[in-house]
């Protein structure tokens, strides 16, 4: 009986350590997701322009839980592809001078490439229509 209880306590201890490690991993993955997804929020400029100024803060407040859910899901997905050590190293990089430059540039590039993508889509549509008939 004592051996069974001891084994059970060891297993529970290991399980608790594993949960704490998973929580730390999820927290770091969430930090990484938010850092690397600033470009997503930078692309909201057009969306914000459609909201009257007096409603913009309320809109942003309503948007927060939606974005937090999105970031949480992206963080969980990234945990399937990256180890906790990978995430820690990526966070180190993003906190470096070059990493900060990449983040700043990435949001600007995202906005520009989204606009370019829309333009490209408009140019391709006649070609698609021509060859789909």
Instruction: Please state the domain extents for the chain.
Output: 29-132
DSSP string, 7-21: HHHHHHHHHHHHHHH
Confidence band for 15, pLDDT divided at 50, 70 and 90: very low
Q: Does 44 or 95 have the greater pLDDT score? A: 95
**Pairs from 40-48 (Cβ < 8 Å, separation ≥ 24):** 40/110, 41/67, 41/107, 42/107, 42/108, 42/110, 42/111, 43/110, 43/111, 43/114, 45/111
Give me the chain's average pLDDT, please: 82
Contact yes or no for 33/78 (Cβ under 8 A)? yes
DSSP string, 96-123: SHHHHHHHHHHHHHHHHHHHHHHHHHHH
| pTM for this model (two decimals) | 0.63
> By mean pLDDT, which of 43-47, 96-100, 102-106, 122-126 is the weakest?
43-47
Q: Does 20 or 114 have the greater pLDDT score? A: 114
pLDDT, mean of residues 31-43: 76
Q: Tokens standing for 109? A: 């590039």
Q: Give the rounded percent of residues in the chain with a pLDDT score beyond 90.
A: 50
């Amino acid at each position: 009986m004592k051996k069974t209880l001891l084994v059970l306590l060891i297993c529970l201890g290991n399980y608790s350590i594993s949960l704490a490690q998973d929580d730390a991993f999820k927290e770091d993955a969430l930090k990484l997701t938010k850092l690397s997804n600033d470009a997503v929020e930078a692309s909201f400029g057009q969306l914000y322009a459609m909201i009257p100024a007096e409603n913009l803060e309320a809109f942003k407040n309503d948007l927060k839980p939606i974005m937090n859910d999105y970031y949480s899901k992206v963080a969980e997905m990234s945990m399937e592809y990256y180890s906790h050590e990978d995430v820690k190293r990526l966070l180190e990089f993003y906190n470096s001078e070059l990493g900060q430059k990449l983040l700043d540039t990435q949001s600007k590039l995202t906005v520009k490439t989204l606009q370019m993508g829309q333009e490209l889509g408009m140019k391709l549509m006649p070609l698609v229509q021509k060859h789909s008939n």
